[in-house]
C-alpha cells in the first residue's frame, strides 16, 4: 500500500535528514565552535571511530556520498595509483567524474556482464606493476548492489579481497 509519498533511492541527495539526526543537530546548534575539524563534535567522532576501528582509524566528515567516495579513494592511493572497477560501477558513472577530477585518480574499467567483478576480470587491469608509464593498480572498488541490481555474496567479496591482497 502506498502512502502517496514519492521516495527516491537513486542518491543520498534525494532525501531529507532523518528526524533523529535533525534533532541532534538542532540540540547542538547553539553558541560557537572552532571550525575545520577542531570542534568538540569532530573530536568526539574521532574518539568513537578509534574505539570502534582502532587507533589508526581516522574520520573525515563529508556532506554526501560523492565526497565520501572521493576522499576514501584519495586516502588509499598515491597520485600515480589507480582504481580497478566495473565499467558500470557507481564511482565510474554516477559521481560526475569526481574521482578522476577531484582526486586525480585513474579509474581502470573492466567490462562485466552483470556489474560484478571477479578475480579473473580484475586481472584484465591488474598488470604493468612497476611500469612507470602506466597508472599502477592499487584499489579494487565494487558497487554492492551493482547498478544492475546484482549482489555480491560474502564468498565473492572474500575471493576479490584475497586476490587483491595477493597482488599487493
Whole-angstrom distance, CA of residue 89 vs CA of residue 121 = 14
Grid coordinates representing 78 are 598515491
For the whole prediction, is pTM greater than 0.85? no
Separation of first and last alpha carbons in the chain: 50
CA atoms of 78 and 67, how far apart (whole Å): 18
Q: Which domains does the chain have, with CATH numbers?
A: 1-61 (no CATH), 65-167 (3.40.640.10)
Q: Show pLDDT as tens, one digit a residue, over the chain (168 residues).
A: 567 777 776 676 777 888 999 999 999 888 899 988 899 999 999 999 999 999 999 998 888 889 999 999 999 999 999 999 999 999 999 888 999 999 899 999 999 999 999 999 999 999 988 899 999 999 999 999 999 999 999 999 999 999 999 998
Amino acid at each position: 500500500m502506498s502512502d502517496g509519498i514519492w521516495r527516491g533511492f537513486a542518491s543520498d541527495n534525494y532525501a531529507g535528514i532523518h528526524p533523529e539526526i535533525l534533532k541532534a543537530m538542532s540540540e547542538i546548534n547553539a553558541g560557537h565552535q572552532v571550525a575545520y575539524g577542531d570542534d568538540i563534535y569532530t573530536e568526539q567522532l574521532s574518539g568513537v571511530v578509534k574505539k570502534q576501528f582502532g587507533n589508526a582509524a581516522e574520520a573525515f566528515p563529508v556532506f554526501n556520498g560523492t565526497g565520501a567516495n572521493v576522499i576514501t579513494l584519495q586516502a588509499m592511493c598515491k597520485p600515480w595509483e589507480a582504481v580497478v572497477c566495473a565499467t558500470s560501477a557507481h564511482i565510474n558513472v554516477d559521481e560526475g567524474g569526481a574521482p578522476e577530477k577531484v582526486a586525480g585518480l585513474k579509474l581502470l574499467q573492466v567490462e562485466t556482464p552483470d556489474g560484478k567483478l571477479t578475480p579473473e576480470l580484475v586481472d584484465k587491469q591488474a598488470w604493468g606493476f612497476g611500469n612507470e608509464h602506466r597508472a599502477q593498480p592499487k584499489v579494487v572498488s565494487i558497487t554492492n548492489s551493482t547498478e544492475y541490481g546484482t549482489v555480491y555474496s560474502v564468498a565473492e567479496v572474500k575471493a576479490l579481497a584475497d586476490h587483491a591482497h595477493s597482488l599487493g
